[in-house]
Chains A and B, each alone.
Chain A
Amino acid sequence: MTDYKMHLLICGGTGCKAAESDEIKKSLKNWIDELGLEDDVQVVFTGCFGFCEKGPIVKVMPDNTFYVNVKPDDAEEIVKEHLLKGRPVQRLLYTDPVSKKAISDSKGMNFYKKQLRIALRNCGFINPESIDEYISRDGYMALGKCLGELTPDETIKEIKDSGLRGRGGGGFPTGLKWEITRNVESDEKYVVCNADEGDPGAFMDRSILEGDPHSVIEAMAICGYCIGAENGLVYIRAEYPLAIERLKIALNQAREYGLLGEDILGTGFNFEIDIRLGAGAFVCGEETALIHSMEGLRGEPTFKPPFPSVSGYLGKPTNVNNVETFANIPVILNKGASWFSKIGTEKSKGTKVFALAGKINNVGLIEVPMGTTLREVIYDIGGGIKDGKGFKSVQTGGPSGGCLTKDFLDTPIDYDNLIKAGSMMGSGGMIVMDEDDCMVSIAKFYLEFTLEESCGKCSPCRIGNKRLHEILENITNGNGKEEDLERLKLLSNVIKDTSLCGLGQSSPNPVLSTILNFEDEYLAHVNEGKCPAGQCKALLKYEIIEDLCTGCTLCFRNCPVGAITGERRQPHYIDQSLCIKCGVCYEKCKFNAIRLS
């Protein structure tokens, strides 16, 4: 960054943008100009700070002051008090939920203390639309080093030694994948970046592309150099408009600087990157499906082998890696494999980005060393469960993962431990559930997702998941039997064993893990006709609490089946024989007079 004395960094991630960070920037700029500070202070958009719960966020550098929930109207105070007089605006600082103290330096926040940011190193620090800022933080240094000093084999060895494993879910050693692709003879090869992130609960790839697109471009070029490819493709979902735009800007800048295109840095190495947009199909995240989609076919997976490394896009050897995997590469090459391999656990090196969502205080993106426990992630970084409720479960790995109970809170997170615990790393989504969530419904939810996203090519997945879903539907409707649990388990195992691709092979995991960890909840549904969490509407009754009902007639007017009767200004009643349990009255009542029992 140039010679400004101070920088105001505003989150320009989509989350905060939607919450008017554009306005804030404008307003800050106006006040800075008004007070003649424009030569000293620079206002820039950066990528997501990860602390989305409290967005929009404004960070003042160099003192690291971290303002949360900023409104455009706060700009005046920030400029006049902080920038001019050097007094941080107390009321906009983050308050520690435990100590209730305001924390001004973001380094003092628990949210950041336990984090180690490698893949997210630049997110929230640089302006993602400026290649100069990326370069000023060692950007494109690794590419220069590889092209100038290292042979492809030496580079691959470095990646292999680092122990980096794929962050897209499978956890395949990245260096080994590059080596395999390199060793296949072919006139043409491809580097593919998988940015089709579709796991419910995951949004790290979007944040990296929005906050630091150059790191992915640089790594793809390095990969091309190593495996002998001149063409790269980024397959990105169309639902990420901002990420696509930033990537396009970054690609153009890299071309202008001669870091993409022909004869890169005068070394004779050519590399070009193209963008392909997804069209709303989750299964296209699977690498063979992704390749077929890029070929213009239906995005259906095919049997492996042959692996894409041998025969991929247009039948040519293709190296597919995830966005986060790529984002790690430049750092490994800059700091060395031995530095990287010291971080993490024995078999899982480095860090992992997790997306925290659900009933947790600090939702957002975090990056921690492998081996951090779930407790640290959920309580220390995540700030615990929302509204002081009890922790019930955390779902990792999206529709292919499982639900872990509090017994696993002290398990160090890495690829192998999560699999042992009956879940998966997946892409790193973590959805936290509290005591109000019904685990049978959660399992049903994931299956609904799988059902819709199954490509339908093979019958275990297409038909089997449908049957699983029907059984769960019966249970949540109060028509389940105890034998259903055995049927669920049997069918789940058949689906796992016989499906063609990873989607089907892992789709029963949410069912199996909830049966394993929350069997009593299933039994309460089938034996007693009760939903302990009070979520399964069919097992509940809507009633009007007479004392609270003001007779406003709102419920009466909204009930779709006319099950509510009563005089104006008199308590109303619900006729249980007519009620279809749609819950409209519950949602409409302004006086909390509708009870579920």
Chain B
Amino acid sequence: MDPVQSLVKGLADKYGRTRESLLPVMQGVVQQEKYLSEYSMVEIAREMDIPASDVYGTATFYSFLETQPAGKFIIRVCKTITCAMKGKNQILFSIQDMLKIKVGETTPDNRFTLLETNCLGWCHKAPAMLINDEVYTDLTPEKIREILSGYIKKSI
């Protein structure tokens, strides 16, 4: 069994093989692999006995279930109204400036993926972003430099 197969099998053992378990299993794969590859979706379909097209259809519905390769750290900058009112554009500029990627792109070393997302529920501390599971709020360009430098060091 290759790593993806055993990951999927482990998750299916844990959550069950009924349709209700599909989301938790996919979330488990994303947590480990950062995204759902075509191969892992086919494996999920086989393991849980669900049509592969259904797995794909469900995965593509949810924005947190990436189906494109993504970096080790996924940066999701909130672009919704309060954050936009409070200068989210500058935040994006500084991230793009530092990482030299645009929204939707991944750095060549596969460390960072930059995405935009809708309201994260931190509007009173806008602008806000998520890096994987970590929340960062009240962002300023200086804070961005600090935070990202931390991650750059961490990932070497």
Contact = CB atoms under 8 A, between A and B. Distances in A.
Are both chains from one complex? yes
Task: Sort A-B residue pairs by CB-CB distance and give the 6 closest, nearest first.
Answer: A280-B64, A279-B62, A296-B22, A280-B63, A363-B124, A200-B119
Nearest to A360: B124
Given A277-B27, A296-B20, A431-B123, A201 B81 contact: yes
B129 to A, nearest CB: 11
A448 B81 CA distance: 10
Contact of B58 (A237, A280, A298): A298
A206 B135 CA distance: 13
Contacts, number: 136
Interface stretch (B2-10, B82-90, B104-112, B148-156): B82-90
Contacts of A18: 125, 135-138
Given A279-B27, A453-B118, A294 B20 contact: yes
Given A14-B122, A282-B118, A201 B65 contact: no
Contact of A356 (B19, B22, B117, B124): B124
A363 B82 CA distance: 11
A449 B117 contact: no
A437 B85 contact: yes
A442 B81 contact: yes
B142 interface: no
6 contacts: A14-B135, A18-B125, A19-B137, A19-B138, A200-B123, A203-B124
Contacts of B81: 200-201, 395, 431, 442, 445-446, 449
Given A199-B119, A203-B121, A357-B82, A15 B137 contact: yes
A277 B121 contact: no
A395 B123 CA distance: 13
A356 B123 CA distance: 9
A336 interface: no
A200 B128 CA distance: 12
Interface string B21-32: 111101100000
A62 B91 CA distance: 42
Contacts of B89: 583, 587
B82 A201 contact: yes
Interface in A284-314: 293-300, 314
B140 to A, nearest CB: 12
Interface of A: 14-15, 18-19, 52-53, 197-203, 206, 237-242, 276-282, 293-300, 314, 355-359, 363-365, 395, 429, 431, 433, 437, 442, 445-446, 449, 452-453, 455, 583-584, 587
A203 B61 CA distance: 24
Contact of B19 (A197, A295, A359, A584): A295
Contacts of B24: 276-277
A280 B27 contact: no
B52 interface: no
B118 A15 contact: no
A310 to B, nearest CB: 20
Nearest to B80: A200
Nearest to A15: B125
A137 B118 CA distance: 37
Nearest to B118: A449
Given A279-B62, A584-B93, A53 B138 contact: no
Contacts of B90: 587
B125 A293 contact: no
B21 A279 contact: no
Given A201-B81, A299-B61, A431-B81, A239 B121 contact: yes
Contact of A197 (B65, B84, B121): B121
Interface centre among B23, B27, B62, B121 (most CB of A within 10 A): B121
B119 A201 contact: yes
A200 B82 contact: yes
A363 B125 CA distance: 8
A206 B58 contact: no
Contact of B135 (A241, A356, A395, A584): A241
Contacts of B20: 294-296, 314
A298 B21 contact: no
A452 B62 CA distance: 11
B126 interface: yes
B119 A279 contact: no
B30 to A, nearest CB: 9
Contacts of A452: 118
B120 interface: yes
A240 B137 contact: no
B43 to A, nearest CB: 16
Contacts of B137: 14-15, 18-19
A293 B27 CA distance: 13
Contacts of B119: 198-202, 449
A355 B22 CA distance: 34
Given A298-B61, A431-B81, A449-B80, A280 B117 contact: yes
B121 A297 contact: no
B130 interface: yes
